[in-house]
Structure formats: structure tokens, C-alpha cells
Amino acid sequence: MYSFQFENTIILDSISGNKIDFNKGLFLWILHANKIPPHIGISLDGIYFSLKVNGKDDGIELAKINKIIEAKKIGTFIVEINQEVENNDLKYCFSKHNKVVSNHPTCLTPIQDVLKLEGEKLILSELLNKIQLNDSLGKVFSLNLESDFKGILAYGKAEIENRLKLLENVKRNKSIH
């Protein structure tokens, strides 16, 4: 069951082997789209930002992210966002956070800020609904997903918190050894 379903998805065989230029414009990157919850990043003109449990991707070249997605065959939606965003605004919104922690910012927090979608902490389906209501939802691309996989799986804030706690514990266990 989906909490948000994309209407028309363009299926890609690879990121690098297509005619779409993801180095121009604003894109939401939904990684592990077939898992609950997925991980969200954002890119502007080929520069990628993402807040994670173990830190953040802060101004990474998109080519590096693309290599990881393709090498690990990560199920991904790439969502074009037709909204003006300044590079400095993007950097500022991510500079306010060091990492994702349970009961605090999620990977979506700085993205919600940069898109000026104020209010309570949103989950991905809510964010996508707001983007769609603002007529800012552009083309949607899928990679490494089944052709009949059309959207964001249904989940709530409890699943996000549980996943973050699990990831924090895995990180702690790794650092102890």
C-alpha cells in the first residue's frame, strides 16, 4: 500500500547512461524507495546534500552518489522539483544540522526547510503532497525498482523513529569493537 503514488514514472536503466541531465536543476533523491522508511537527499545543479545518522553529505558531487546507487543497485526515485532554490539557502539549511538522531531532525528536516514548507515535522508522503499542491512536482524517474513499483510505501513517524534508533545502535556497536 502506498502513502503517495507517482502518476507517470520514467524508468531508467542507469543514471549515467541516459539523456537526462541531473546536474541542472533541483531534484529530490529517494534512496531505498522500496524500504520503510526510505532515505532522502536533495541535489541542486549536480551538488548533493543529505542528512544521515552518521553525519551528512554536504555538497558532494552527484557523480559520486550516482556511482554508489548504481554499484549497490539501490532502489531510487529521482523527483524533479520545479522551485527556485539558491545554493546558499541549501547550504545554510544543512549547516544547521550535524546528523540525524532519533526524536530530532530526520533526513527530511533540512529539505523541508530549504523548500520553505513550514510547520510540523513532515514525513515523505506529506512533503510530496505539499510539493504537488504547490504545482512544483516535475518529472519522476525510477531506477533499480520493479516496473510496477509506483510510489512511497505507507509508514508513519513511529517507523522512522524505530529505524533511527536501530541505526544509532548499529553505529554504536560498530564503534565499540
| Cβ atoms within 10 Å of 159's Cβ, excluding its own | 14
Range of the domain at 152: 2-176
Q: What is the distance of C-alpha 10 from the center of its chain?
A: 17
| Cβ atoms within 10 Å of 60's Cβ, excluding its own | 17
The answer to whether residue 174 scores a pLDDT higher than 70 is no
pLDDT digits (tens, 9 = 90+) for 17-56: 667 889 999 999 999 999 888 999 999 999 999 988 788 9
The answer to whether residue 118 scores a pLDDT higher than 90 is no
Counts of helices then strands in the chain (DSSP H, E): 5, 9
Nearest residue to 40 via CA among 95, 114, 135, 103: 114
Determine the pLDDT at residue 176: 34
Determine the pLDDT at residue 139: 96
Question: Are residues 137 and 131 in contact, defined by beta-carbon separation less than 8 angstroms?
Answer: yes
Nearest residue to 2 via CA among 30, 27, 32, 36: 36
Q: What is the distance of C-alpha 67 from the center of its chain?
A: 16
| Number of domains the chain is built from | 1
CA distance 102 to 22: 31
Lowest mean pLDDT among 35-44, 119-128, 129-138: 119-128
Average pLDDT of the segment spanning 61-73: 93
The answer to whether residue 103 scores a pLDDT higher than 50 is yes
Predicted TM-score of the model (pTM): 0.88
The answer to whether residue 104 scores a pLDDT higher than 80 is no
Three-state DSSP class for residue 100: coil
Determine the pLDDT at residue 177: 36
The answer to whether residue 13 scores a pLDDT higher than 70 is yes
Q: Cα dihedral angle (70, 71, 75, 78), rounded to 10 degrees?
A: -30
